[in-house]
Amino acid sequence: VSVYLSRPDLLRVAIAGLGQLGGDIAKSVVNFPALKLVAAADPRDGARTAFEATYGGRAYPTVKGLCTDPDVDAVFIATPSALHCEHVVMLAEHGKHVVLTKPMALTLEECDQMIEAVERKGVVLVYGTGGMPFRPSYLAMRRIIESGRLGRLRAITHFAFSDWMLRPREPHEVQVDGGLLLNQGPHAVDAIRLLGGGMVRSLRGATVDMDLQGRPCAGFLSAFLEFQDGTPATLLYNGYGYLFGWEFTPWADESSRLAALANSYKFRRQLRGGKTNDSQIKEQSRFGASEAADFRIQRGQGIAQAEGWLPSDDGTIIVHCERGAIRQSATGLWVYDDEGRHDEPLPPEAGASPEANEIQELLRGIAGGPVFRNGRWGKATLEVVLALAQSSDTRQEVLMKHQVPVPVGI
Ligand SMILES: NC(=O)c1ccc[n+]([C@@H]2O[C@H](COP(=O)([O-])OP(=O)(O)OC[C@H]3O[C@@H](n4cnc5c(N)ncnc54)[C@H](O)[C@@H]3O)[C@@H](O)[C@H]2O)c1
């Protein structure tokens, strides 16, 4: 499986956008011997200076700099969502492979432009950074479904409770980039599509805007999806930060998590009073800022790693089969069958981490192998996410036209 991952400096990579996600990507890619981090692009001076000081590569003020740098083979794109299309097309035109975070773009027309550019130029586009289509637990769940060990898949349930709306946000995130729906919807839909085989037939859904000051977007999503084979799936996301996904896991350390949330509650009171300085607080969590000032750490993200996996933005997924059910446990999967509940470790074939799986897919694609988490997958996920908004507006069921299947034996 990791035939490429262990080959030193196989690929020279860069990062476009050294923000919150871009900083996390930098920290992650340097752990993979197959990758050499050589460059980055960001208009913020401080981010570029910090990048050169930390990683020693070249930092450009624009993505154009990465396009014309002959030492860059592939670029991880972590720029604001409204720029994904422009940046993918520009990099593809210059022969660069790209790894793109969610959402793929803001519209299906943008997805088409991106797919056309990468296919015409013969470069690889891997979609889903940090995302669900590469998560070892979901890949392991999909393998159990395919094996038929629990009988046929009959339904999927997803629910997520997070404080997405209570984190510092730039105005464009909630006004231009699609708010919580386009930022978090793809996580849920990627996971549901991966587990259900990819081919969603229809969706009826509603988005709810609870009128939180400073957050002019829906923070609550609810949908009923049906796959082409008739399998139903439900999706629920409440991002208003009142209740949390980890409350539904018996292994969470409740007291330390509840204590850490005091900062989130304070932030909500400030939002209501119109007294937050979101841009300044978000800046403190971007690449090059001091970790102590990172709001993510102050509100408890990353505490008590010993608890193992806990649902956060990703939510909880339960797969219901004819003769059992599956959900994620702290360290692997809880598999329920006629004998009871079994805590099963993840099989090594499911990969070491989402990042390792994603890089593996990139390297395999460059070597001419199959990439299924590609532009067409990203477009199919965006189609379902946008259908949620459309269905909410029209109060009608929406039928899908651009779905792609999960290959057998992933
Ligand atoms: N924050 C997360 O944990 C997270 C997780 C998964 C996915 N994402 C996705 O990552 C993307 C960025 O989100 P973020 O939260 O990191 O935002 P952010 O604002 O912290 O980061 C965006 C970065 O892009 C830079 N940028 C802006 N215009 C640019 C341009 N023209 N060229 C190059 N760089 C430019 C900004 O200066 C900033 O550093 C979004 O699409 C989001 O959906 C974020």
pLDDT > 70: percent of the chain:
98
Under a CB-based contact definition with an 8 Å cutoff, are residues 308 and 250 in contact? Answer: no
pLDDT > 90: percent of the chain:
84
Q: Give the Å distance between the CA of 82 and the centre of ligand 1.
A: 10
Report the pLDDT value the prediction gives residue 221, as an integer from 0 to 100. 98
Q: Which of 79-83, 296-300, 362-366, 371-375 has the lowest mean pLDDT?
A: 296-300
Q: Give the Å distance between the CA of 289 and the centre of ligand 1.
A: 15
Kindly give the number of the ligand 1 atom that is closest to the alpha carbon of 22.
16
Ligand 1 pocket test target in 15, 18, 20 with most atoms within 8 Å of CB:
20
Q: What is the DSSP-derived secondary structure letter of residue 350?
A: G
Ligand 1 pocket test target in 42, 114, 299 with most atoms within 8 Å of CB:
42
300: pLDDT strictly greater than 80: no
Assign 304 a pLDDT band (cuts: 50, 70, 90): low
**Smallest CA separation from ligand 1 atom 33, residue:** 42
Phi, psi of 62 (to 5 degrees): -135, 165
Kindly give the number of the ligand 1 atom that is closest to the alpha carbon of 83.
31
**Smallest CA separation from ligand 1 atom 20, residue:** 19
Q: Give the Å distance between the CA of 141 and the centre of ligand 1.
A: 30
In sequence order, the β-bridge partners of residue 343 are: 334
Distance CA 407, CA 410 (A): 6
Q: Give the Å distance between the CA of 153 and the centre of ligand 1.
A: 37
Assign 1 a pLDDT band (cuts: 50, 70, 90): very low
H or E segment and range at residue 38: strand 35-41
Q: Which of 34, 28, 27 is nearest to 12 (CA)?
A: 34
Distance CA 205, CA 191 (A): 17
Phi, psi of 150 (to 5 degrees): -105, 20
Distance CA 362, CA 378 (A): 15
Q: Give the Å distance between the CA of 172 and the centre of ligand 1.
A: 11
406: pLDDT strictly greater than 70: yes
Q: Give the Å distance between the CA of 349 and the centre of ligand 1.
A: 31
Mean pLDDT of the chain: 94
Report the pLDDT value the prediction gives residue 281, as an integer from 0 to 100. 87
> Token digits for 108?
């299906």
Phi, psi of 332 (to 5 degrees): -165, -125
**Smallest CA separation from ligand 1 atom 38, residue:** 19
Distance CA 55, CA 38 (A): 8
Per-residue pLDDT, averaged over 159-165, amounts to 96
Q: Which of 19, 165, 15, 167 is nearest to 80 (CA)?
A: 19
Distance CA 315, CA 221 (A): 13
pLDDT in tens, 325-358: 999 999 999 999 999 999 999 999 999 999 999 9
**Smallest CA separation from ligand 1 atom 27, residue:** 79
Q: Give the Å distance between the CA of 42 and the centre of ligand 1.
A: 10
Ligand 1: lining residues by beta carbon, under 6 Å: 16-22, 41-44, 47, 62-63, 78-81, 83, 101-102, 130, 170, 183, 282, 286
Query: Please, what sign has the CA dihedral across residues 182, 186, 192, 198?
Result: positive
Strands 316-321 vs 200-208: parallel, antiparallel or unpaired: unpaired
Distance CA 353, CA 374 (A): 19
C-alpha dihedral (129, 318, 382, 212), degrees to nearest 10: -90
Q: Give the Å distance between the CA of 84 and the centre of ligand 1.
A: 10
Kindly give the number of the ligand 1 atom that is closest to the alpha carbon of 79.
24
**Smallest CA separation from ligand 1 atom 2, residue:** 21
pLDDT in tens, 126-144: 998 777 899 999 999 999 9
Q: Give the Å distance between the CA of 341 and the centre of ligand 1.
A: 41
For 65-82, b/e burial (b = at least 16 CB within 10 A) is bbbebeebbbbbbbbebb
Assign 256 a pLDDT band (cuts: 50, 70, 90): confident
Strands 153-161 vs 232-238: parallel, antiparallel or unpaired: parallel
Report how far apart the first and last C-alpha atoms of the chain are (Å, whole number). 11
Q: Which of 170, 404, 114, 157 is nearest to 285 (CA)?
A: 170
Its pTM stands at 0.96
> Token digits for 207?
């988005």
Looking at this protein, which amino acid is placed at residue 42?
D
305: pLDDT strictly greater than 70: no
Q: Which of 72, 25, 23 is nearest to 358 (CA)?
A: 25
> Strand, coil or helix: what is 35?
strand
